């Protein structure tokens, strides 16, 4: 039976129908480990960030998906020191790349040592997996050479990804973040021990029918868990942290503090120390 593709954003919107922003401990801080602030078309981004900061969301790891939005992510980072920018080419956007895309990426990264690389990866539910692999491996080369953390999208392609990692013979980025990780659980220890991986869980974790994702979360050591909105609305990360704490049977404030600390550690494994979380520069 062929795979049916439903956009992740559409699934997240369905999961959030009727949900309210949860209450949180006023002393707890949050970092959205994977968002797309540049996609916000219904609200001023400054207002979005201010609303999130009012809920103690004090950091935003903003991932580009194609060269056309790299400048938008860069500008968000210039506007707000709490935005951690990532530039990359998502596997859905490998068509129609210019021949010099990698040169432009290297130039931007060289000019901005705080930038990470993302969102990159493999998606076997989409066509052109061979072309995806070429673009992915080129970006992994850049990440290794320039010492940048990578944020990885991997759908139905974990075996292919591990094959690529194994044949890189240690030429890896300082850390990898497996974005919206859905398993399998049996690769988690290997990814941590061999590739310094962190595992970010998205609003998809709310769906109790996603047993593989929840099994992966249960198998993830607490010190490797991150939380993300995976959209232009960072407020959704609050609910994700709540669900993670429920699945892990851990006090929500304690889990929020653990995840906040983990995200700092993931950022520290990059080329620079994290910025102070403030609005404006």
pTM of the complete model: 0.88
Residue 59, in any domain of the structure: yes
Which parts of the chain have pLDDT scores under 50?
A: 1-5, 271-281
Residue 159, in any domain of the structure: yes
Q: What is the pLDDT of residue 21?
A: 52
Q: What is the pLDDT of residue 281?
A: 29
Residue 251, in any domain of the structure: yes
Q: What is the pLDDT of residues 116-147, one digit of tens each?
A: 999 999 999 998 999 999 999 999 999 999 99
Q: What is the pLDDT of residue 3?
A: 43
Residue 190, in any domain of the structure: yes
Q: What is the pLDDT of residue 27?
A: 67
* HEC letters along the chain: CCCCCCCHHHHHHHHCCCCCCCCCCCCCCEEEEEECHHHCCCCCHHHHHHHHHHCCEEEEEEECCCHHHHHHHHHHHHHCCCEEEEECCCHHHCCCCCCCHHHHHHHHHHHCCCCEEEEEEEECCCCCHHHHHHHHHHHHHHHHHHCCCEEEEEECCHHHHHHHHHCCCCCCCCCEEECCCCCCHHHHHHHHHHHCEEEEECHHHHCCCCHHHHHHHHHCCHHHEEECCCCCCCCHHHHHHHHHHHHCCCCHHHHHHHHHHHHHHHHHCCCCCCCCCCCCC
Residue 16, in any domain of the structure: no
Q: What is the pLDDT of residue 43?
A: 81
Residue 253, in any domain of the structure: yes
Range of the domain at 70: 28-268
CATH number at residue 93: 3.20.20.140
Number of domains in the chain: 1
Residue 11, in any domain of the structure: no
Q: What is the pLDDT of residue 41?
A: 77
Residue 171, in any domain of the structure: yes
């Amino acid at each position: 039976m062929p795979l049916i593709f439903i956009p992740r954003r559409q699934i997240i919107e369905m999961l959030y129908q009727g949900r309210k922003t949860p209450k949180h401990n006023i002393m707890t801080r949050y970092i959205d480990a994977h968002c797309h602030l540049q996609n916000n078309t219904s609200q001023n981004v400054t207002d979005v960030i201010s609303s999130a900061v009012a809920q103690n969301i004090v950091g935003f790891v903003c991932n580009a998906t194609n060269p056309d939005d790299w400048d938008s992510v860069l500008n968000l980072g210039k506007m707000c020191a709490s935005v951690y920018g990532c530039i990359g080419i998502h596997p859905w956007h490998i068509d129609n790349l210019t021949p010099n895309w990698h040169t432009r990426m290297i130039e931007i990264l060289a000019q901005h040592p705080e930038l990470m690389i993302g969102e990159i990866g493999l998606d076997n539910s989409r066509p052109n997996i061979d072309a995806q692999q070429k673009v992915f491996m080129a970006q992994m080369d850049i990440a290794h050479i320039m010492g940048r953390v990578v944020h990885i999208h991997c759908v139905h392609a974990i075996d292919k990804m591990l094959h690529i990692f194994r044949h890189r013979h240690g030429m890896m980025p300082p850390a990898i973040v497996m974005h919206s990780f859905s398993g399998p659980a049996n690769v988690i220890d290997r990814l941590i021990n061999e590739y310094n991986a962190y595992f970010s869980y998205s609003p998809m974790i709310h769906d109790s029918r996603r047993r593989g994702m929840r099994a992966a979360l249960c198998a993830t050591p607490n010190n490797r868990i991150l939380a993300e909105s995976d959209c232009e609305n960072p407020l959704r990360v609050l609910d994700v942290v709540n669900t993670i704490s429920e699945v892990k049977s851990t006090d929500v404030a304690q889990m929020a503090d653990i995840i906040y600390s983990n995200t700092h550690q993931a950022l520290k494994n990059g080329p620079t120390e994290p910025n102070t979380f403030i609005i404006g520069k």
